[in-house]
Amino acid sequence: MKHRVYLEDPTVKRQRLHRYALPLPLCPLRTSLACPIATGAGLLLFLAGCVTTPPRWPAASVSVPAAAPVELAPAALLPERAEAVDMPAQEDQQDALPLTRDGALLTALLHNRSLETAAYDVEIGATYTPEALSAFEPVLTATFTTGRDKQDAGVSATFGDRLNQWSSLSTQVSSLIGTASGGIGSITELETLVQTLSSLEQTAANGEALSRHYVVTRNTQGSIGVSSYLPTGTSVSLSATGTHADNTATDGEYTGGWSLDLRQPLLRGAGAFVNLIAVRQAQNQAAASVLGLRKTVLEIIGETEDAYWNLALAAEVLRIREFAQTLAAEQLQRAQDRFELGKAIQGDVLTARAEYSTRAADLANARATMASENVNLVRLLNPSDESNWKLCFTAVDTPEAEAADIDAGQCTARAMAYRPELAQARLAIGDADLSVAGARNDLRPRLDLIASYGATSSGNTASSLRGALNSTRYDNYQIGIEFETPILRTGQRARLKRAQLAQSQAERALAGEEQAIAAEIHQAVIEVERQQQQVVAGAETVRSREAELENAQGRYNVGKLTTLDLLQVQRDLIQSRLDEATARIGLTQAITRLRLAEGTLLDARGIVLPAL
């Protein structure tokens, strides 16, 4: 089963790394107002926001180079050339698992833990732009309240009068009782007494409870509105309100209205450029996270390939050490045979035995190095949660030296276009430019053009509101300006100076990064050239040492060469083979590190990162 890893030429997506990427569409306000004055005010505000451009602000399209100055030879996609390694569990472990370079790279891409972690950074970075754009989303607000308000109106005035009557009637009763005790003088006096007693009874009944007056008001209020902040800096809000109040003292009353309010900055905060600064910085942050993923992939692929060739070198060293031990064992046997025949002294046997022990120790070191390189590859390939640390790999591919002239100027030009660190540094400069623009905007005074249009109405019923709200005779409108500015502007000046210093720092950082990468490229080119010369010299040295050993062996057999001299010739041959193998694999690794320094290793290996 082939695992697909689609990669994308960085020149295709390089336009996304602009300082101010992805132009944002403006949403024009589309309203139909009954009042021509309000319509004209709204159009004036919108046009002012579109055409107002702060002076002396940086251009909005500084980007990473759109294409590499020197084109690369196309490479077949990695999944088309290799398959991921299916590594067995520990209980199913084989003696040695064949492994190709491309198979190791593809397996690392699919399973390496560091790449999984870096992929989260890209997904996190993608959330910043929607968050910044949310500042321009319409906001809906609505409220509804209902309740009762009860207020004390004081003691009843009627009851006060009753108290006065009580006092007066009490006097009359006392007088009538005195009269009655003296006898009833006439019928008229008797009727008066009866009426007075009846009135007294009613007054007493009314005074049984202290009546107080209260005003009870029941209120119901509701409002709904939509507001939006446009990229031009324009603030627009449309709202409607309604209120119903009913109390015990008056008749119920309905009030309502609607209002369209607009505010357009003319100086500070005017125009789409400054209001989209946060969005453009968020886009830069998202682009930087993608570049960070590319940088991580480059590092992992470079480390994996380097580890693969280290394993291949360890295998060759192991074979050379085994050959060296075989030579030492043969020499020890010859020395013992010659000693038994009386043709050699005991010292020759001791020298040969010491050499055999030394080469056995070298062989043990080579086996330990081989095991260590296997563990390193297991970590990079990360086959499963329970990694089989005892896995043994066999490097199938042989190093292929690219014996071609390498131009340091072309390599440097490619590095300037492909290295993700430089693209990130350019994005940092873009962020610094935006910060300077924002700080300059804060230095300007606030001068806002404001306008509102609406209507209000009231009535005893809800239906009575329609007459005023539907008629332009009762429309309300206002238009004016607001001005505000700090007198000293100390904080704003300090913020601008800090932004300008950060801008200069980012520019210096980019220059320093370019210089460091140029030096890295030249060092890598020097190393490639050195390894090329070492490969040629090493091959010639091996051929000479092999001929020298053959000649020394013949001279030793006829007794013209001592055991120590023969062992020294063997050591020279072994060392020449080690040097040749190190130079041959070292050349391949040097070329890989040069491609890594250029930032073109992924393209050279047919690895295209998915568009995230």
To the nearest whole percent, how much of the chain has pLDDT over 70?
71
pLDDT tens for residues 410-438? Answer: 999 999 999 999 999 999 999 999 999 99
Report the pLDDT averaged over residues 271-283: 95
* Kind and range of the H or E run holding 530: helix 490-557
Q: pLDDT at position 64, please? A: 40
Distance in angstroms (rounded) separating the CA atoms of residues 31 and 40: 11
Report the pLDDT averaged over residues 162-182: 59
**264 vs 611, residue with greater confidence:** 264
pTM above 0.85, yes or no: no
Q: pLDDT at position 102, please? A: 92
Three-class DSSP category at 480: strand
Q: Which of 47-56, 181-190, 357-366, 435-444 has the lowest mean pLDDT?
A: 47-56
Which of 143-157, 199-213, 235-249, 490-504 tops mean pLDDT? 490-504
Q: For residues 284 and 430, is the Cβ–Cβ distance under 8 A? A: yes
Q: pLDDT at position 410, please? A: 92
To the nearest whole percent, how much of the chain has pLDDT over 90?
51
pLDDT tens for residues 63-122? Answer: 343 344 456 666 788 888 888 877 666 555 566 889 999 999 999 998 888 888 888 999
The answer, yes or no, to whether residue 603 has pLDDT greater than 70, is yes
Q: pLDDT at position 29, please? A: 29
Rounded to the nearest 5 degrees, what angle is found at the Cα of 17, between the Cα atoms of 12 and 23? 100
* Kind and range of the H or E run holding 534: helix 490-557
Q: pLDDT at position 41, please? A: 44
pLDDT tens for residues 51-72? Answer: 343 333 333 333 343 344 456 6
The answer, yes or no, to whether residue 7 has pLDDT greater than 50, is no
Q: pLDDT at position 395, please? A: 92
Q: Which of 155-159, 402-406, 592-596 has the lowest mean pLDDT?
A: 155-159
The structure tokens 């003088």 sit at 185
pLDDT tens for residues 482-524? Answer: 999 999 999 999 999 999 999 999 999 999 999 999 999 999 9
Q: Residue 120, by phi and psi: left (phi above 0), alpha (psi -120 to 50) or beta? A: alpha
- DSSP character at residue 231: T
Cα distances (Å, whole numbers) of residue 332 to 264, 344, 507, 584: 98, 12, 68, 32
What sections of 70-156 are H helices per DSSP? 78-81, 101-111, 113-125, 128-133
pLDDT band at 608 (very low <50, low <70, confident <90, very high): confident
Q: pLDDT at position 60, please? A: 36
pLDDT tens for residues 360-374? Answer: 999 999 999 999 999
pLDDT tens for residues 214-228? Answer: 777 888 899 999 999
